[in-house]
Structures are given as structure tokens and as C-alpha cells.
Structure 1
Amino acid sequence: MGSLVAAKRVNGHLGVTEPISLSGPTEFDVIKTQELEKFLEDAGLYEKQDEAVSREEVLGRLDQIVKMWVKRISRAKGFNEQFVQEANAKIFTFGSYRLGVHGPGADIDTLCVGPKHATREEDFFTELHNMLAEMPEVTELHPVPDAHVPVMKFIFCGVSIDLLYAKLALWVIPEDLDISQDSILQNADEQTVRSLNGCRVTDHILRLVPSIQNFRTTLRCMRLWAKRRGVYSNVAGFLGGINWALLVARICQLYPNALSSMLVSRFFRVYSQWRWPNPVMLCEIEEGTLGLLVWDPRRNFKDRLHQMPIITPAYPCMNSSYNVSLSTLRVMTEEFQRGHELCEAMEASKAEWSTLFEPYPFFESYKNYLEIDITAANEDDLRKWKGWVESRLRILTLKIEKHTFGMLQCHPHPNNFSDKSKTFHCCYFMGLQRKQGVRVHDGGQFDIRATVEEFKQSVNMYTLWKPGMEIQVSHIKRRNIPPFVFPGGIKPLRPLKPARKPSKPIETNCGINGEKVSEVVPDEDDKQMYTQEISYSNGHLFEVSESLDSTSEARKRKQMEDASESNSDDAKRPFLHPNKSPESVRELEPLETGSVNQQPSEEAEELAIKNIFSSPTTAIADLPEELDEYELLKQDKCLEETGDDFPAGHTQTHNAQCEVISIGSVEELEPVELSAPSFSELPAATTQRRPLIRISFSSVTRETGRNA
């Protein structure tokens, strides 16, 4: 960490660029910050003192347990008594608890650091697991040893714990161990490096923000906003806690003297203009001396395909948001724009904080949804099955994007729902819509039956599968959304639409089971009218055809996409890293002259924000403008054929419906899957079996009322 302190002393600032503004708070900022803090307190984001004490006691007991555990396994392995007495393990915290932004009932992310002779598989996931299972105060113990970051989940005295394990190349773990030093990673396996990364990143963030208190208040605000607006979920392809912390920390660096209300406003101003996939970084990426892989799109093929890079500051620097897809990035970009508009309204005293935090009306925003239902035989099986399915849901989004060439967009809901009338049931939803602003040729169709089948097969390859674990994927229309997803189990009434000019009703063959229903075709002077026709067969979506949307949300999307297309030259820039040199930020200097309380104009601020993307640093210099198309397809095919989720020839049989699933290999679908497949690579079954879900985009003719 000495290098960070030295960098701040030499440059006079934290971060990879000069601050956008050094202005201090105005009287208005002070008032709005007080209002924000009151709003967050009323929202119940702060835990009570007795709960804080209980958490500390649980962590203390957990530390004692792992110390007993390491001594027990040391004795079992035949070490002498002196060594057994010196054997040690230590508990560290990270995530929201370490950052100081956790709320009542939140999980505590913890890391157990053990010596080199304490193995992960036999000792941590077996011996320590058995010790915890025998304790009456431990409930809902659920090990996940095969996860990207292996974890053991449980509830200890009412406190939810996520426990990771890191095995260091040390015979004895010192009590004053400093895991922020890079040397701690020496000879560590890949899973240990990932497990240590959470603690190391958290500590770096707290050292890289100018004001921890302002950072914490702003982060609490953004976490609440993201949850209310449905964009808080790393597993669903949005952003998780560490991602939001990094984004907020960068804003704190760019406005080091601002209070929380201004930081929230500038958060939306900056990220509504951010030209993704330019990365967000708190410090320069260091190569390090241990040879560990760092985020570098020049060298690593998969890094070039990341949609929204948010780079961790601790070595080895990684992209923490690799789960983000084109569809989820679109949703977040729209939410950033909405937040920016509302913050501007608040500055003009035309809106309140409560407006910013209004829940996103997910089940009113789309006309078509995918419903993914899962069931299990008992509660324990459902908890395991649900965790597995959740980890695979982003694959469905990515595959739909790939197989429809980005024309069909998915909006996954970050939460799950349960029908209380069914036992051991859980379901997830995805909103579906055609990509806005793109004309589709008449009769164009996208068959996603194979996509859904591939997804279901990959889910059914669960190594811990048991009878009763089932999954179903079906289409439902907005009017058929089940009531149990709404608060209180009551479906709200839709507001009446404003009256339009009378339009001529026509007949379309788009009804349930193929019967005709009346549809309204817009007049020529109302070209923005939105119509959508659905055809069903045996309860499954058969066709979807859409024209332009006239709702405010759709118009807003269209305007945003038109604006992004007008800046297509900028969008093609390859992962431009901010430059630290004074030349690259010379336009920023006039903002810092005079009194520190002088607020820069909005135009000057926007110019300063754009300059953040002005030129690449030497770390990612000379990245090619575009990848060779042949190389993309070749690498994509190679990655698909060498998927490492399951061994080749893996076969699993279950008796739920006497169905035998046999797959040569099932790939872990990374963002590489977004590249378009050649038609020759589509599964042969696509043309041999009746489609489950087929998406068709076509226009409706006024004369006949049928699809053109």
C-alpha cells in the first residue's frame, strides 16, 4: 500500500485522473444531504446497537471455532504437540460489513485464512463442515465447493454468514497477518487468490477514497436505489455490492470535497455519459511480480468482450462485472439516465428523494415475459436447486442475445418469487422485447426453442441433482402475470390510457390457440403507436410481432439509442483508459481555479467528464480498433468446444419423466457467447422439432390485418 500513498503525495489526488471539481458544499448541498440521511434512516438502512454487538460476538465465536478446527486437523495429521499449539487460523471480513454499509439482517462476508497443511476439500469442506453441523446454534448449513469462489453458507445465532477459505503457503498463520501485501499471494492456488481478493479489494477501496464517511453514505444510497430499481444482482447480470462500491468510490475521487447529495447527483451525471466499455478504475493496473493474470484486453481474448468493465484496485486487477450482458447494460444505462434527470429536477426543487427511489414497475414495463419455474422435493433440496439455477440464469440471457443476434432483449428480474399454494416452488421472470430503433425485415423470425432447450439441459446437468428437482420455462403475457408476484398478492389495476383518435379495428390471427382477435392499427399521423401481436399454441408462445412503441419509456429508449448511434465513432474506441498526464486533462484545470466553493458550470463539467475518455494509457495502449471477424468466430467456436463445466461424455439420468439427458460437453457461457454463430453451427434439431418459442418480427398491413 505504500505505492498508493506515494502516488497521492506526488500527484496530489487519488485516482487515475485529476478531479473534475474541487468545489466544496454549498448551503443547498448541506440541506439536501441532511434530507438524504433522514430518508436513508427512515428506510431502515442502519442496524441497531444490540444487533451490532451480536454480530461482533458471532464473529468472535467463529474465530475461536476455526482456531479449534486447525488445531484438531493438525493433531490428526500427526504433527507434534508444540506444532499443534502454534497452529492458527484467522477470520477476516469483507464486503458490505467491512465497508460499513451493511443493514439489519445483512449477510457477513467472512474469510478463513489457514495454513498450507489445511486443505480446502478434506479439511474445510469436510472437517469444519462437520464441526459446524454438530453445533445447535448453526442452521441452514449449505456448502458450495464447486462455485467460482467456493463458499460455505450458514446461519450462526441468527446471523447469516458466507465463509470463504484461503490456504496460504505458510505453516503457521501469524495473528497480525496483513493480507493487503502482494506477497501473501505467493504460491497460492487460483481459488485462494479469488477468495483473498474480496478482502484485499475492500481494504484498497477504503484507502482510495478521500472521505470514508461521505463514501459510506453515498454507497448506502446507491445500494438502496439499485435494489429499488431492480439492478442490484451480480448473478442476474447486473451489479453486486462490490461493483456499486467501486463506481461510488470513483465518483468520490472525481469530486473529493463534495457531500453525499452532490455525489449522488454526480454519480448519475457521470455514468449516464460514460462510454462503455471504457473501464472504471480507481488506480492504474499493475502487472505485479507474481505473474498472475490481470485484466488486459490486448492479451486476453475474453477481456475484449466485457460490456461494462469495473476493475478491482488490488493485484491481480480483475473485471468485477464480467456478468453484465448487452441487455442488462441497456437496462442500467436507462436507469442512470432516469436518475440524472431526477437529480436535475431535485436541484430545481421539482422533485424529492422519494421519487428517485420509486420501485421499478417491472411487471408493467413489458408485454411478454419468460417465466422460469423450479420445484424440489423438500426445502433443503429447493435451497440447493435454487442456488444452482440462479447461477445459470445469465446463460439464458446471453444465449438469447447470441442466437437472435442481439435483436431480442432480455430484462431479468433480480429477485425470485414463490407461489404459496405450491410446495417447494420458486420462479423467476424475464421481460422480453425487440431491440428498439432497429427496423426488422418483414417476416423476420428468431427461433429460440434451441436456446431454451440448451439452457434447460445445462441446468439439469447439476452434479447434486435429486429426484423432484424440476425446471420449466414458459411464456406469459403481461395480463397473465400471476398475482403472487405483487405485494399482498393483489394485482394492481392498470391506469387508463389517454384517448386517441379512433382507429380502424382489424382482424389478426394472433389470439389464444390461434383464434382471431381484434387489433387496432394506428392512423398514418400517429406512427409511433405501439402494437404487438401474440400467437399461442398449447400455452406456449409461438410468435411475437412488434412495431414501434409510443410509450414514454420506449421513446426514451429510442432517443438514447439514436444518441449512441450518433456517437458511433466514439463507441468503437477500444477500452480507453484514463490518462494521468496533465496534457490529457488540461481542459479540467480552469475548473479548479479560484475559490474551492465555486461550482463549475454543467457544460464545463460535461466537458471534463468526456475528457476522462480522451486517450489510452500505456497500460492498454495499441489495442486494435476491431477484432478480425474470422478470429472472433474461430475463438468463439474453440471456447464452446472446450467448455470445462463438465467432463466430455458426462451423462445423467433421472426418473422425473423417464428422460435421459446426454451431452458431450456443456460450456460455461461467458460473454464470448455474444458473438454471432454461423448458420451451419445451429443444432440440427432446430429444423426437426416443433419450436417451443419462436419470435417473429413483422409489420401488420392495414388492408388484410395479417402479417406481411
Structure 2
Amino acid sequence: MGSPLFNNRNNGQRLGITEPISLGGPSDFDVMKTRELEKFLQDVGLYESQEEAVSREEVLGRLDQIVKIWVKTISRAKGLNEQLVQEANAKIFTFGSYRLGVHGPGADIDTLCVGPRHATREEDFFGELHKMLSEMPEVSELHPVPDAHVPVMKFKFSGVSIDLLYAKLSLWVIPEDLDISQDSILQNADEQTVRSLNGCRVTDQILRLVPNIQNFRTTLRCMRFWAKRRGVYSNVAGFLGGINWALLVARICQLYPNALPNMLVSRFFRVYTQWRWPNPVMLCAIEERSLGLQVWDPRRYPKDRFHLMPIITPAYPCMNSSYNVSSSTLRIMTEEFQRGNEIFEAMEANKAEWDTLFEPYPFFDAYKNYLQIDIAAENADDLRKWKGWVESRLRQLTLKIERHTYNMLQCHPHPGDFSDKSKLFHCCYFMGLQRKQGVPVNEGEQFDIRLTVEEFKLSVGSYTLWKPGMEIRVTHVRRRNLPNFVFPGGVRPARPFKIARESRQSVESKVSSHGQADKSCEGKAVTNGADDGRKRKREDDDVGNNLRNSKCLATVASSTVEDHEGSPPVTVVSSCFTKGENMDAMLGEARRERVENVIEDSLRNLKNPADVSSQNGGEIDGSVRCSPISNTSSVTAGSSNSKEAEKLAIEKIMSGLYDSHQSFTEELDELEDDLEYRNQVKDFVGSTKSNPLDSSMTNTAVAVPVKISSGAGPSGILYPNGGLEELEPAELMAPLSNGIHSAPTAQRKPLIRLKLTTVANATGKSA
């Protein structure tokens, strides 16, 4: 258990850019629930064994010896005198989950090799060191990625997964006691070195900025496990990665410095449910410093204005660590925060337990329609490289679909991949599809995402290391036709009658505490296929919405949509849909509008974070001062007065930082390799000078036909303002070799296509 004393590490100094919300210590309830949490985390296997810990230490020691031999070898080869050769040194640092102390069994170790100025990245690190590692029997699955945003060498050393970065400093000799937290090591460093150093510098700074490291670690283990179970742990998929969750947890530790993990997890959900994104989360003030490196600042850098969920790193140069988040993934995470908050309210009323919070998200029961992205290669090595490349580009497909449909068609990417064991060197990814809820369906409005998929495949096909056999195919598949290999054990679970496609649902049991009315519940299927019989809350829509949205659209017997490029018409068929089947029905309209309004706010003047403490004055100044939560056996934190005080305190924290800085929702910087489309959007933004999410814009622009088609077979319609229509699945049995690798050769029509007449009309260019 962590000490409840606030000044146990920092001599009474405040941590963070604002005063804490509460200095209260733990109650008896917090102590009990924290013990339960620690036991739960132990039981699910989140802690490695002593033997594995020793093995990791040995691997790191061996790796440090290897880089020291490497740097002396290249120093001698470059003609340095013998004294310099003997003094030549390189050093291994760790960062990420291992350095934070929250790694689990089998986790990767993020490492950084720091070398002298004469040891180059291209020739020496990815050349000579790669050669040395490839010749060692302990090393396997060696995979260099020199052209990544942060260049990395991935491999396994004696079975331990290693991600190795490289930083070339402007020093002739690397001292053994080098302190990389000093800004001076960034002097004359190239961008790749700055990015590579950033991981270590940020990790060390986080540990300096939390009031109690042990409580921070337990809470972070909990939140990482929760995020993985709920499918929102993946930076590459547009959710949050390890460093993002660490920063969010560290900020809660600052706001509640004397709280135990039970209360910290509770306040995590309470605070971030109320957080008005894109207000940034920061552990310390952003400082410019004398080196002139670019820091996150939406006042000066237009690209920073497009970030939807800024989580700012605390080490210079301060950057946004969560620029990958899209409007769809932000919506999903926001709703998961709400679900967690409601479960904790039930836990405080003894209506739920820890295992309720960690129930897996039933992704393959949550949607009626999915995109399936299949990739294949000739051998395992090619597949590993091809898979890494495709994974890094998948988020573009989500961004393009959102942008082309003005956020009316929403995507939910699954953070993991799946493999059909009957096929060699093959894996696939899935995205759930649904239209945005809340806008009436207008008959005849359609989504057609054919061109979107074509652009995505062209982007993927630009892979410079492409080899014959590297294939990609994108198809549409309905829930009932999902392949069996996506389910545990390859067995499709039985679906109970009227099962809830949970989405961002609420509590498994009835909640009738703190003045709340009992809420009706529905059952749900978890990913392991076991129906545990628990019920879940469901918000009833008002009668008017039910009457409006439960109408079946008239069936279009033989409607045709002309292809924009003049290909033969495609027959489409629509079917009935009721609003009760929409997975967003669980989300309150007011909360959803609040999130969207924040995103749509125009750029306002930013206030200096350093001035926040003077504005707040004391703990929480004025009428919103929050009294510390008393250390009693009762759960005083759950009282309505305490919650209201915390709510006001959170509002005060955000009003003292940054106001909304979002002027548009297009993440233009995410299409760096798509110059033609970027120019189209640039022209489009210049001609409209308005927010694409403005209500007047969406009422006119989304009348564009946007349709998911399955090629030669039947197809269906996705309506932008209503529920998803049932769509005919793509021909899943077609051999993967018929897919398209998007090389610059003649291509057949894809199975799913997009016709973007809106942007074409707006820009005056042909789509």
C-alpha cells in the first residue's frame, strides 16, 4: 500500500500544473477494494515470475555488452587512434512499460542504444550492428525498420522480444554515467535522435511527476489491462498506446496525490468522462527552452489544431503523444470511460465487482456490418514486413472514410489481427461499421466507399519493399457471415435471443443507488462465447424517436447507381432496420453533443499554463474549492456533494488551461503520402472556409450516394442519417491471389468501392 502522505516524495511541493482536486487519504472501503484489485491483477497473470525477471536482466546486460563491442569495432574501422577506440562507448537505456515497472509476462522491452557522433544510424546501426545480431544464434526474428517515424530494430534475444532504437549524440565519447534527462544531450541532434530519446526522457519524467510511484504502477497496470480487454489499447489503430495511458493515469495521481489505486481508478473514469476534449492533458507546463525545438502549440502550428485528444509529453520538447486518435476512436473511448464510471458507481453501491469492469468487449457481436482486410505474402519474413506496413496504414482507411462521409459513417477498428490457420502466411483485420446516430434517415441517401478503398490500397501499394506475393484485399462481411477463426477456439458462439450488441454499454447489474432509478438491463455475449446471464443497462429512446427510426425503408427492387468513372451500373438492395439495433442507442444525446461541440469549436487564444496556479489560487479557488475527502469508513467520495465539488474542480482545471482549439476535423497531416487527395482537400477547405461538421454543411453534403458493394454479387446501402441497412456479404471464398497489391499496374475493380462526388463537386476536380 502506498503512503497517504502527500509530501512523502516532493517536500510538500505541488506536482502538476494545477492544485490537487483532493488531498484526502484512503477510506476503509478504498483499502479493502485496493486489496481486491491487487489480488485480481495477480490472479489474471499480470506480474512476471522471478525467473523471467532475472532472464530479462541477463538479456539487457548481454545487449549492453554487444553494443559496446559494436562501437569499438566501427571506431577502429573508421581509423580512429587506439586511445579513442578504447574509450569508445555505447550504452543501453530502457523505457516504456519495462522502465515504468508495469510490464507483464512475455512483454517487449523498449530499449535505446546511445552512441557517439561517429556511429551513424544508416551505415553502422542498421548496417554493422544488424549484421552482428544476425550472426548470433540467440537472435531470431530480426526485423529492421529504418524508414519508420522512429527507426527501430525488432528482434528476439534468447526468446525475449526487444525493440531497439538508436540515438546519435554529438559526443565523441559516451560516459557510462550519462544523464539523458539533461536538455544538453539534444544539442545538434537530428530529428530521429530527438524522437528516439523522447521515449526515455518522457518515461523518467513521468516517474518524477507522480506523488507515489507504487500507487501509480498498480493503477496503470489496472488501466492497461482494462484498455486491452475493452479493445482500446492500440496506438497504431487510432486508440491509445502504453505511453498515452501512463500519462492519463499520472495526471489522475497528481490530482489525487494521497489516494489508493481503487480511488485512482474510480477518479480516472470520473475525470475523463467529464473532460472536454480537445483540451489537452498535461503533467507540467510546456516550455520553449533555448534549443528552439518545436513543441506542441496549436496557436503557432496548424497541424496541432487537428489533434482531437491531445495528451502532451512532459519532457522537452513537449509533443502530443496521441495524434493518431480519430473522431471514431475518440467516440469509442469516450463511451468506454462513461461505462467505466457507471460501473464504479455500482461498485460503490456493492452492485458490481472488479470482474464486471474487465469484461471483454464483444466486438464481433457489436455491429451488423464489418470491413475485412486480408493480407498475404509468400513466406513468413515477407508477411512480417508486409503486416507491419499495412498495420501502419490501416488508420488511414478510418480517416478517409470519416472524411469522405463527413463523419456520418463511423468505423471501429479492431486493435488486433486474426489468422486463418488453413492458409499459410495470411492474416486479416476487421473494422466495425455504423452510421452516425441521431440524424433522421432521408430515403435515397447512400454511402459509396469504393474510391476510399481504392485510395487506401494505392497508399498501401506504395510500399518500397513490396515483393511479389504481397497481397491485400478489402471486403464487406455481415455479422452472421464472419469467419469462424475470429472466435475463440474457432467456434462461433450461440447468440441468445435479443442479445445486446453492447457498444459503449453500462453496468451489468441493476443500479439503484445515490438517488438513481433502477435501470433496465440486457444480456450480452462476451468474446469467449459464455453467456454469464448478467444483464446490462439500456437507455430507452423517447417514443418519437422510436416511431421515426423503427420504420422500414421501402425496398428498392432494382435501383441502380452509376459508377463515377463510367463503369456499368451496380444493383443495390435495401432492407429494414430499427433504431433499437443501433449500437449508439446507449449513449445519452447530451453527452454526445457535448463531445461534438468541443471538436467543432473554433481556435481561441491560449492561456499560459504557467498562469493556471495563480488563477486557481490555493487548492481550488472561489466557489469551486474542493474539500479533501475524509478518511472514514463510509464511501464519502460517492456522495453527491463530493461529486458535484469534483465536477466543478474539473471544470476549473480545464478553464484554466486551453480552450477548444479545433477549427476543422480533417487530419490533413495524416495523408502525407497521398498528395493528390491532400490537394483536393486543401482546395475544398479553401472554398468552404467552414467546419465540415457544421449542421448546415451536413444537411446538404451528405446526400451523396455512398454504398458498400460486394463486387459482382448483391450489395446493400448504408444510409448516412439512419441505422445500417443489412448488406449482402462479399464473396469470401474467392482466392486471396485475386486480391490487389496496388502496384502501379492495371487493376481490376475492388470488392468495395467509393464514389466521392461531394469532394469532386466542391473542388471542381474529377474524383
- Structure 1 match to 2:719: 697
Shift of 1:527: 4.8
Structure 2 residue matching 1:164: 3-state secondary structure: strand
CA distance in 1, matches of 2:287, 2:125: 32
- Work out whether 1:580 is the aligned partner of 2:613: yes
Mapping 1:631-642, distance limit 5 Å = none
- Structure 2 match to 1:615: 656
Shift of 1:573: 7.3
- Structure 2 match to 1:442: 443
* Higher strand residue share: 1
> What is the aligned counterpart of 2:627 among 592, 600, 621?
592
Would the aligned equivalents of 1:150 and 1:191 in 2 still touch at CA under 8 Å? Answer: yes
- Structure 1 match to 2:528: none
Aligned in 2, Cα 1:472/1:595: closer, same or farther, shift over 3 Å? Answer: closer
2:139 is aligned with what amino acid? V
Would the aligned equivalents of 1:141 and 1:153 in 2 still touch at CA under 8 Å? Answer: yes
Shift of 1:497: 1.9
Shift of 1:665: 9.2
- Structure 2 match to 1:46: 47
Query: In the comparison of the two structures, how many residue pairs are matched?
Result: 636
Shift of 1:441: 3.0
For residues 642-687 of structure 1, what are the alpha-carbon distances to aligned partners after superposition, in whole Å with 9 as ceiling and x for unaligned? x7549x9xxxxxxxxxxxxxxx7999999x99975999xx9xxx99
- The worse-fitting range, judged by mean Cα deviation, of 524-533 and 126-135 is 524-533
Shift of 1:551: 4.7
Aligned in 2, Cα 1:208/1:397: closer, same or farther, shift over 3 Å? Answer: same
Would the aligned equivalents of 1:545 and 1:696 in 2 still touch at CA under 8 Å? Answer: no
CA distance in 2, matches of 1:403, 1:525: 29
2:626 is aligned with what amino acid? L
- Structure 2 match to 1:555: 585
Structure 2 residue matching 1:445: 3-state secondary structure: coil
CA distance in 2, matches of 1:321, 1:90: 29
Aligned in 2, Cα 1:594/1:434: closer, same or farther, shift over 3 Å? Answer: closer
Would the aligned equivalents of 1:546 and 1:697 in 2 still touch at CA under 8 Å? Answer: no
Structure 1 residue matching 2:89: 3-state secondary structure: coil
1:232 is aligned with what amino acid? Y
Shift of 1:247: 0.2
- Structure 2 match to 1:474: 475
Shift of 1:36: 0.3
- Structure 2 match to 1:270: 271
Percent sequence identity over aligned pairs: 68
Would the aligned equivalents of 1:116 and 1:170 in 2 still touch at CA under 8 Å? Answer: yes
Would the aligned equivalents of 2:368 and 2:478 in 1 still touch at CA under 8 Å? Answer: yes
TM-score relative to the length of structure 1 = 0.82
For residues 106-129 of structure 1, what are the alpha-carbon distances to aligned partners after superposition, in whole Å with 9 as ceiling and x for unaligned? 000000000000000000001000
Mapping 1:645-664, distance limit 5 Å = 645=673
> What is the aligned counterpart of 2:643 among 572, 581, 602?
602
For residues 167-220 of structure 1, what are the alpha-carbon distances to aligned partners after superposition, in whole Å with 9 as ceiling and x for unaligned? 000010000000001111000000000000000000000000000000000000
Shift of 1:12: 3.2
- Structure 1 match to 2:523: none
Shift of 1:460: 1.0
Mapping 1:184-203, distance limit 5 Å = 184-203=185-204
- Structure 1 match to 2:20: 19
CA distance in 2, matches of 1:667, 1:156: 45
Mapping 1:354-503, distance limit 5 Å = 354-497=355-498
CA distance in 1, matches of 2:269, 2:340: 6
Aligned in 2, Cα 1:668/1:142: closer, same or farther, shift over 3 Å? Answer: farther
Would the aligned equivalents of 1:531 and 1:549 in 2 still touch at CA under 8 Å? Answer: no
Aligned in 2, Cα 1:133/1:546: closer, same or farther, shift over 3 Å? Answer: farther
1:193 is aligned with what amino acid? V
Segments of structure 1 that go 5 or more residues without pairing to the other structure are 1-5, 500-521, 649-663, 701-708
Aligned in 2, Cα 1:295/1:100: closer, same or farther, shift over 3 Å? Answer: same
Aligned in 2, Cα 1:548/1:572: closer, same or farther, shift over 3 Å? Answer: farther
Shift of 1:607: 1.4
Aligned in 2, Cα 1:411/1:474: closer, same or farther, shift over 3 Å? Answer: same
CA distance in 2, matches of 1:582, 1:279: 18
TM-score relative to the length of structure 2 = 0.76
Alpha carbon RMSD of aligned pairs, Å?
A: 3.7
1:155 is aligned with what amino acid? K
Shift of 1:93: 0.1
Aligned in 2, Cα 1:414/1:699: closer, same or farther, shift over 3 Å? Answer: closer
Shift of 1:615: 3.2
Shift of 1:469: 0.3
CA distance in 2, matches of 1:498, 1:121: 55
Aligned in 2, Cα 1:12/1:82: closer, same or farther, shift over 3 Å? Answer: closer
For residues 483-539 of structure 1, what are the alpha-carbon distances to aligned partners after superposition, in whole Å with 9 as ceiling and x for unaligned? 10000111111110289xxxxxxxxxxxxxxxxxxxxxx99975554869999999x
- Structure 2 match to 1:652: none
Would the aligned equivalents of 1:475 and 1:541 in 2 still touch at CA under 8 Å? Answer: no
Structure 1 residue matching 2:626: 3-state secondary structure: helix
